[in-house]
Structure 1
Amino acid sequence: MTRPSEDDAAPPLTPPLSTYLDQARHQRKLAPRTLQIYEDGLRRLQHYAGADGVDLLRLSIQQARRWAGRLHRDAGLAPRSVALELSVWRGLYRWLGKQSRVELNPFDGLRAPKAGKPLPKALSVDDAVQLADHHDDKAHPAIEARDACIVELLYGCGLRISELTGLDLHVTKASAGWLDVAAGEAQVLGKGSKRRSVPLGGKALQALQAWLALRPQLAAADEPALFVGRRGARLQAPQVRLALKQRALAAGMPAHVHPHMLRHSFASHLLQSSGDLRAVQELLGHAHITTTQVYTQLDFQHLAKIYDAAHPRAKKK
């Protein structure tokens, strides 16, 4: 959390703020970092009270709301830092209330502004193709074929990792998902136990055929799972993450690659090419279109970069 700029002179805290901080230090034995957050918050509260001529023991709800707004607007604190500061102020007034020094806690019910939801990270088209085309000649042929197929299904079909690991070779009563190679489809079980059909592209089908030809080298005789580990049993999510991480490093990817990043890349690249948000929603298995709309922001970022790089009006003098 950024320290208040008005605290450069570090004026001493006055009671009851100094007493509350001492209580937190000696009785609650808070960690040094937590104590610093408390002190920063109390100093800012003292500054606001002094600047506005307000007695902290008679602070109104309206004044408390104005100060809470200043944290974000004037002090420039991020939503998480605002939430920490308000927590310190609420704690102070809760403590004062227990001592019957205030009649109400003016910060009860005040919440920090919601932090913006970070956009999912996606690979560029070139990086995604580079990862998909990577071949490790030193790897065990079956492992290499399996991992190549995993990349094709994650990036080429937009599968979740649970949908990928749940795939069986053939449908059974216990199957969460299965392949229909003849139809060029995979039947997967997504969130909320909703089943959907996912088309398999040409590259994915080629990778599947290559993996299926070598799968008997690893799989136990009665193992129904499409993807198996070195011991012949169904591949689990942590194993997929590790295999993908190692493959991405070997392929020279610029950032840590995880399975969901390939799903994001699938959606983003498909939307860039087609512009069909509803189709992307259906392929991803999103229950609500608002979940899919985040990829329109990724698409806009892609277009903005092209504009900045190419348009004469965007070039800086």
Structure 2
Amino acid sequence: MMSDTDNKEATTLSRQHVAAYLQHLAAERRLSPNTLESYQRDLLFLLQATEECGKALADAVASDVRDAIVKLRKKSLSPASVARHISSWRGFYSYAIQRFGYLNNPCVGQKGPKVKRALPKTLSPDSCAQLLDGKKEQDIDSNVLLARDHAMFELLYSSGLRVSELTGMDFIDIDLKAGEARVTGKGSKTRVVPVGRQACKAIKTWLSWRQTLLGGNDTPALFLSSWGRRLSVRSVQMRLDHWVSQSGLGQSVHPHMLRHAFASHMLQSSGDLRAVQEMLGHANITTTQIYTHLDWQHLAKVYDSAHPRARRSKPVGDTENS
């Protein structure tokens, strides 16, 4: 057991190492502020757990990590949250071994709870058509906000954008003649995505109105608020809520559902997982593979309804009340 002085010095050093790791994630891996906050919370929990044991992070062993996991479980966190904590800790120790000379990674071999990955909520092609085609063309052409909203939602669905990517786009990022757009995604990575005919048409209509909102501002943003400033993510969510309420869909829709719809509909039509991965900007193809499960659900329903021998009888021995 360390003395109080040694314990304070070790605690200070541990916190400095965590701060350096967070700075590394921000500067070199360019993680978003929300993701960085999650890492910080996860590592703070481990810091407190090791400090209660009178240890520095560099001196923690596998049993200390297991004890910290037990404490996590007692907080009634979801399996996904516990798994994320362990992943954050493991990443920190991998960095600390290289950067600070830590001797071991006590998280190696530590298994978190099994996380059942929920399938993303999406929309059918018919629902997307109902949402996007629900307004009269003459109304859209004569109303600046309707023209802007229609262009935004067409682009989200046409190109599978994250809503933050949509609001981060500048006027020069869209090329209607080529039918493509330059997008800056997670980690400040840039990709070029196709823009469909309907989205190009909607954006062209919006651009004819854009100058009226721009006023004296010189913002480069593609989509503007009624005050002529870059539109926020929250504003897009609220406008979509308003649009949906008037569409008669009968279900709630958030912007990310249009991205999910893009991915699942592209896979259903093409089956090209790699191409969809590139268009979505996924670093790992396993992230894209979640949409293959959505596609399988669609195929299974078609099979059940169409195949003459799809509905099997109950196994021999089954009774009506079993």
TM-score tier by shorter-chain length is 0.5 to 0.7
TM-score of the two chains, using structure 2 as the length reference: 0.60
The structure with the larger Rg is 1
Aligned 1:42-191 pairs, distance under 5 A: 113-135=113-135, 141-170=143-172, 178-191=173-186
Q: 2:303 aligns with which of 301, 307, 311?
A: 307
Structure 1 CA distance, aligned partners of 2:150 and 2:312?
Answer: 42
Preserved contact between residue 220 and residue 233 of structure 1 (Cα < 8 Å): no
Preserved contact between residue 218 and residue 228 of structure 1 (Cα < 8 Å): yes
Structure 1 CA distance, aligned partners of 2:206 and 2:273?
Answer: 32
By how many angstroms is 1:281 displaced? Answer: 0.2
By how many angstroms is 1:230 displaced? Answer: 1.1
By how many angstroms is 1:246 displaced? Answer: 1.2
Query: Residue 110 and residue 168 in structure 1: after superposition, are their counterparts in 2 closer, same or farther (change >3 A)?
Result: closer
By how many angstroms is 1:219 displaced? Answer: 2.2
By how many angstroms is 1:138 displaced? Answer: 6.7
Query: Letter of the aligned partner of 1:185 in structure 2?
Result: E
By how many angstroms is 1:256 displaced? Answer: 1.0
Structure 2 CA distance, aligned partners of 1:237 and 1:301?
Answer: 31
Give secondary structure in 1 for the equivalent of 2:293: helix
Q: 1:208 aligns with which of 199, 203, 207?
A: 203
Preserved contact between residue 167 and residue 225 of structure 1 (Cα < 8 Å): yes
Query: Residue 138 and residue 288 in structure 1: after superposition, are their counterparts in 2 closer, same or farther (change >3 A)?
Result: same
What 5-or-longer segments of structure 1 have no aligned partner? 1-78, 85-108, 171-177
Query: Letter of the aligned partner of 1:134 in structure 2?
Result: G
Deviation sequence 1:61-101 (CA, Å, 0-9, x none): xxxxxxxxxxxxxxxxxx959x99xxxxxxxxxxxxxxxxx
By how many angstroms is 1:190 displaced? Answer: 0.6
Structure 1 ranges of 4+ moved more than 4 A: 109-112, 136-140
Structure 2 CA distance, aligned partners of 1:254 and 1:309?
Answer: 25
Structure 1 CA distance, aligned partners of 2:181 and 2:134?
Answer: 24
Q: How many residues align?
A: 209
TM-score of the two chains, using structure 1 as the length reference: 0.61
Alignment pair present for 1:281 and 2:277: yes
By how many angstroms is 1:180 displaced? Answer: 2.0
Preserved contact between residue 147 and residue 243 of structure 1 (Cα < 8 Å): yes
By how many angstroms is 1:316 displaced? Answer: 7.0
Preserved contact between residue 219 and residue 228 of structure 1 (Cα < 8 Å): yes
Structure 2 CA distance, aligned partners of 1:180 and 1:112?
Answer: 46
Preserved contact between residue 80 and residue 112 of structure 1 (Cα < 8 Å): no
Identity between Structure 1 and Structure 2 (%): 53
Q: CA RMSD in A?
A: 2.7
Name the one with the larger helix percent: 2
